[in-house]
Structure 1
């Protein structure tokens, strides 16, 4: 019996949902048994043949940041790491997902390797968002330690020159059946039968260029609903401060959306835009492709390999180019609305 331990301690967000998506789409069909090691309060643990869950991570999700960080780290060192040592001493197949805990992921790779396990690492990002040298060093060390490294776009492979082997997979995201009630609630809130819906979804960060999208939409000569949805990571104030032209409707959902809400929102949108300044690849674009929703992205990282349409971020007029792509992408919806048809 071939078994694989997949460890993704976060239990929420894109990395965890990609683990479930890969399982859902048969990426691990070569294994007879897959054990997913994750957080007790993970956002989903679907019943899938041959898959079991080990809820070995606990988070302190509430309270001040320092308190949450200290309590969670104590669990990692006192419970999670000893657990990994015990399991790795009897199991041969490991896959470590993401950049958990900034530097903890190095231990999650090193421990199974020292115990003579084959370790696959799926980093998801090839850069340090904070720009820290220590984090870059940790990524480099991890790429040396693992037996093989997984990327999702061709442009990422050269960024791991120290890896023994680099393999490419398609990035699948976990999908759920969204109830008609959830879809109808979003449809009514966003008035998607009256105007096109443009969506910026995921963490609200300045490096994701939300202001560029606001400027591009502001110059459109037709009315639309522009939606920003996701946890605020420093960009919320600038979004609220922007004075969008009165013909448009701005909707801001500054919260973590559960899977049903997240995917229901994506499914009723007409266009998803990712004008990021820094990226490796995008779970949002992967989901857009799976749902058949049109997408636009900047040409950074591997986004050009995922999006339907791409604009050059360092062009003379990136806002104007983005605006033109938005306009042309929404022509089919505008035609339907002009003819009196619903989406």
Structure 2
């Protein structure tokens, strides 16, 4: 029997955090004792979700190396000892996302004889992710159960020899969109009242923002927007917009969950023209809000999207945007999501007891 579920999501922001708190809220509704271990400056969460703010990121430090060193030291000296004290032998520890100290987190759970479940969210490692390869290997090889969010990922991991993998829904906590915030975004991004294609979330090269701009430029009467924290390509995106005269607005800053939800609700189509992906929290949020989505044929994106481009050319992305707009949002049903997570936790714990669930 499961005594408590510890959901460990160290970042405290963005899609992985919002997924984690939605899982926690669902489990709480089922009467499960659950706690989310996360950052001390985390985003807002549902009132029903118990948060343990045991991670400090030192985000104000201007130097990345210093920031990472201070964060890691604090994690090793404070967070891991805290987790060792609160985790029990009848508990399930579910690690969400990839974190450089994933192997150490799993070691703490093992010391406490808890069942370990991992959800790396991506089955690949981005080139700029410190310790990403080490974290992914540990998440896949050292867990009692690995949970993924697309059939494409499940098949990929099975082919790699990961035996204890299961697919679960990519739920996202999506609070009701504030009508005033939605109207503010609409006024800012489509002042003429036109049709809006949106590329929201972190602005990264692997999300193909320049391809998005080129696709929107081929849509007469449409407007486009690239909105989110710039992690590198913002200058090139703006230069391309100026060069080809695309009707695309950019806004580079981090958005909290209320602003992000309103932003997505303001769009007519959300676009994910990514070059590499497992699944997309952005697509999941759009589905929750009833906004159609157009995606590149990449990873598991097509499993949840309204329309999938035939290839990764600007013309194909343009055609997928139009098709998504005409089709409307795909219905989403996550009613039994919490029960499915609880089932997988039970499988992990039973296997841990009998020694039969390790992935290798």
TM-score bracket, normalised by the shorter chain, equals: 0.7 to 0.9
Residue in 1 that maps onto 2:57 = 59
TM-score with structure 1 setting the length: 0.87
For 2:102 and 2:47, the matched residues in 1 are separated by: 27
Please list the CA deviations of residues 212-236 of structure 1 after superposition, one character each: whole Å capped at 9, or x if unmatched. Answer: 111111122x222211011111110
- Cα deviation for residue 115 of structure 1 reads 2.4
Structure 2 Cα separation of the partners of residues 29 and 168 of structure 1: 21
Q: CA deviation at 1:125?
A: 0.6
Partner SS state of residue 167, structure 1: strand
Aligned residue number for residue 121 of structure 1 = 118
**Does the C-alpha gap of structure 1 residues 79 and 133 become closer, same or farther in structure 2, counting only changes over 3 Å?**
closer
Partner of 1:236: 234
Aligned to 1:108: 105
Using the alignment, how far apart are the partners of 1:229 and 1:36 within structure 2? Answer: 28
Structure-2 residue corresponding to 1:255: 253
Deviations 1:113-171 (A, max 9, x none): 23211111111010011188964354233322111110111111133344442121111
CA drift of 1:249 comes to 3.0
Assess, with a 3 A threshold, how the Cα gap between structure 1 residues 261 and 131 changes in structure 2: closer, same or farther.
closer
Task: Between 62-71 and 155-164, report the one with greater CA deviation.
Answer: 155-164
Root-mean-square deviation (CA, aligned residues, Å) is 2.4
Q: Distance in 2 between matches of 1:44 and 1:92?
A: 26
1:162-221 Cα deviation digits (max 9, x unpaired): 44421211111111123222122112212366200110011111111111111111122x
In 2, the alpha carbon distance for the partners of 1:57 and 1:133 equals 18
Query: Partner residue of 1:196?
Result: 195
Relative contact order: is structure 1 or structure 2 higher (C-alpha 8 Å, sep ≥ 6)? 2
Residues 1:148 and 1:28: Cα distance change in structure 2 (over 3 Å):
farther
Distance 1:132 1:71, change over 3 A: closer
Q: How does 1:24-103 map to 2 (within 5 A)?
A: 24=25, 26=26, 29-30=29-30, 32-48=32-48, 51-62=49-60, 63-89=62-88, 92-100=91-99, 103=100
Q: How many corresponding residue pairs?
A: 324
Cα distance change of structure 1 residues 325 and 162 upon mapping to structure 2, 3 Å threshold? closer
What is the TM-score when the length of structure 2 is the normalising length? 0.83
Aligned equivalent of 1:136: 133
Q: Relative to 1, partners in 2 of residues 1:213 and 1:4: Cα closer, same or farther, differing over 3 Å?
A: same
For residues 55 and 274 of structure 2, the distance between their equivalents in structure 1, rounded to whole angstroms, comes to 31
Corresponding residue of 1:336: none
Alignment partner, residue 283 of structure 1: 281
Report the alpha carbon displacement of residue 246 of structure 1 after superposing the two structures with TM: 8.2
Q: For 1:21-53, what per-residue CA distance to the aligned partner results, in whole angstroms no more than 9, with x for missing partners?
A: 2234x25655521011111111013221xx422
Could you say which residue in structure 2 is the equivalent of 1:219? Answer: 218
Partner of 1:327 in structure 2?
Answer: 322
Partners of 2:181 and 2:262 within 8 A in 1:
yes
Q: Distance in 1 between matches of 2:36 and 2:193?
A: 43
- Residue 285 of structure 2 aligns to a residue in which SS? helix
1:189–1:54: structure 2 CA closer, same or farther, 3 Å change rule? Answer: same
Answer whether contact 1:224 1:249 (CA < 8 A) is retained.
Answer: yes
**In the alignment, is the contact (CA less than 8 A) between 2:274 and 2:298 conserved in 1?**
yes
Structure 1 residue runs of 5 or longer lacking an equivalent are: 334-343
What are the Cα deviations for residues 37-94 of structure 1, in whole angstroms up to 9, with x where unaligned? 111111013221xx42211111201122122112111111110111122222565221
1:332–1:10: structure 2 CA closer, same or farther, 3 Å change rule? closer
For 2:309, the equivalent position in structure 1 comes to 311
In the alignment, the residues of structure 2 paired with residue 198 and residue 130 of structure 1 have an alpha-carbon distance, to the nearest angstrom, of 28
